[in-house]
């Protein structure tokens, strides 16, 4: 079993399990999804990240005790991932580092698509000299904006501009793109390699768990 930690508080079980369900469906893994308490708006600045870190550590520690073989922090900023790696014995995977590492494995210059003003530091650092640029769709400031046709159209246009800057792969720096299935839209419309954070974290989790004896 792998544990998937969401860094937003969900009341709705279906929303809570969205990332875990993608991973379960794609890789055939047994997944438990949990979320941090009392942060309905998730992490959106340094203060809310500081607030979330001990909650993520609590959840991950409990998941390890309950027999999780790997823990996934399903957020492109990899919150609490460095802290957890010093504490747990099992693999700890973050959506941001996982996506950037897949792009590095393929060796493709990467454009990063997010919804915030800047790329998450972990994504930029991990890509190193493969980092081509960062962009966010105009007028998209939260994941709900991505649910509109206009939001998705803008995401395609923004991706096109990253490809024109020399990117050969697009790395998602927001897991909201995973839940709307943007990767397949971009692959179909633009024919580029897209690295989706939830797919990437699942890929590493699958390798860690499925190849175990």
Q: Does 195 bind its own copies (CB under 8 A)?
A: yes
Q: In degrees to the nearest 10, what's the CA dihedral of 101, 139, 132, 193? A: 50
DSSP string for residues in 115-179: SSSS--HHHHHHHGGGEEEEE--TT--SGGGGGSHHHHHHHHHHHHHHHHTT-SEEEES-THHHH
Min. distance of Cβ 134 from its own copies in angstroms?
21
What is the sign of the dihedral through the CA atoms of 17, 140, 184 and 164?
Answer: negative
Q: Which among 1-9, 11-19, 136-144, 180-188 is the span making contact with its own copies, rule CB under 8 A?
A: 180-188
User: Which value, in Å, is the radius of gyration of the alpha carbons in the chain?
Assistant: 16
Give 169's strand partners. 110, 193
Min. distance of Cβ 197 from its own copies in angstroms?
12
Q: Which among 3-11, 59-67, 86-94, 149-157 is the span making contact with its own copies, rule CB under 8 A?
A: 86-94
The footprint of its own copies on residues 150-179 (CB under 8 A) is 168-169
Q: Does 4 bind its own copies (CB under 8 A)?
A: no
Min. distance of Cβ 186 from its own copies in angstroms?
8
The footprint of its own copies on residues 102-141 (CB under 8 A) is 102, 104-108
- d(CA 1, CA 178) in angstroms, rounded, equals 21
* Pick 14 or 89: Cβ nearer its own copies: 89
Residues that bind its own copies (CB under 8 A): 70, 81, 84-85, 89, 91-94, 97-98, 101-102, 104-108, 168-169, 183-184, 187-188, 191, 193-196, 199-200, 203-204, 207-208, 211-213
């Amino acid at each position: 079993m792998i544990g998937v930690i969401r860094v937003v508080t969900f009341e709705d079980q279906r929303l809570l399990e969205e990332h875990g369900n993608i991973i379960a469906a794609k890789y055939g893994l047994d997944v438990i999804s949990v979320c941090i308490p009392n942060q309905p708006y998730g992490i959106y600045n340094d203060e809310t990240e500081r607030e979330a870190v001990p909650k993520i550590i609590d959840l991950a520690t409990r998941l390890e005790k309950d027999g999780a073989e790997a823990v996934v922090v399903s957020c492109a900023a990899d919150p609490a991932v460095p802290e957890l790696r010093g504490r747990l014995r099992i693999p700890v995977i973050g959506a941001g580092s996982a996506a950037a590492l897949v792009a590095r494995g393929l060796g493709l210059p990467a454009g990063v698509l997010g919804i915030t003003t800047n790329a998450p530091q972990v994504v930029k650092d991990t890509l190193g000299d493969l980092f081509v640029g960062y962009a966010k769709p105009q007028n998209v400031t939260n994941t709900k904006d991505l649910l509109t046709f206009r939001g998705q159209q803008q995401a395609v246009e923004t991706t096109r501009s990253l490809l024109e800057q020399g990117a050969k792969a697009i790395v998602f720096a927001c897991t909201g793109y995973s839940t709307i299935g943007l990767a397949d839209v971009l692959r179909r419309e633009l024919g580029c390699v897209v690295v989706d954070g939830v797919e990437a974290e699942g890929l590493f989790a699958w390798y860690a768990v499925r190849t175990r004896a």
